[in-house]
Homo-oligomer: A and B are copies of this chain.
Amino acid sequence: MIMVIIPPMQRLTIQRQAILDLINSSNRHWDAEEVNRELSDRGQSVGIATVYRGLTALEEAGLIEGIQFYDRKRYERADKSHHDHMLCTVCGHIEEFSHEKIEALQEAIALEKDFEMTGHQLVLFGLCAVCRNASK
């Protein structure tokens, strides 16, 4: 049993628990629509507005992690170490990567510019190996 401190969320309701369990059960990057559909398919239907509120609350509580991708926000498990993303613009595949040195350089730049960095977003766009081979 792991105790977790949940600051801004008052109640971890069954709906929010369902959302959290779903996201924790996979390595996918879910958007709100996908969460809504998948929960419906599993017979634990949750209203779309509640999905949005739940995702926001869970993110604020640090239980999941949200990333703004191009046109929509996606959420993934929070128990992974920090990483950035590369997005295949053909098939939508998302690959993760992490690079300590890039992180450090960002910190250095912020410091130099007198900027108090609260977050960052690095997304590489391009073709994944599969799509590149398919297009040849």
Residues of A within 8 A of B (CB): 68, 70, 86, 88-89, 95, 97, 99, 101-102, 105-106, 109-110, 113-129, 132
B123 touches A121 (CB 8 A): yes
Known pairs A86-B115, A95-B115, A119-B124 / 6 extra A-B pairs, C-beta < 8 Å: A89-B118, A106-B122, A115-B127, A115-B129, A119-B126, A120-B123
A124 touches B109 (CB 8 A): yes
Complexed CA–CA distance, A97 and B113 (Å): 9
| A86: contacting residue among B97, B110, B124, CB under 8 A | B110
**Chain B nearest CB, measured from A110 CB (Å):** 6
**Chain B nearest CB, measured from A124 CB (Å):** 5
B120 touches A125 (CB 8 A): yes
B99 touches A109 (CB 8 A): yes
Complexed CA–CA distance, A12 and B114 (Å): 41
Given known contacts A115-B127, A121-B122, A121-B125, is B132 in contact with A109 (CB within 8 Å)?
no
**Chain B nearest CB, measured from A117 CB (Å):** 4
**Chain B nearest CB, measured from A104 CB (Å):** 10
Given known contacts A86-B113, A114-B129, A129-B114, is B124 in contact with A106 (CB within 8 Å)?
yes
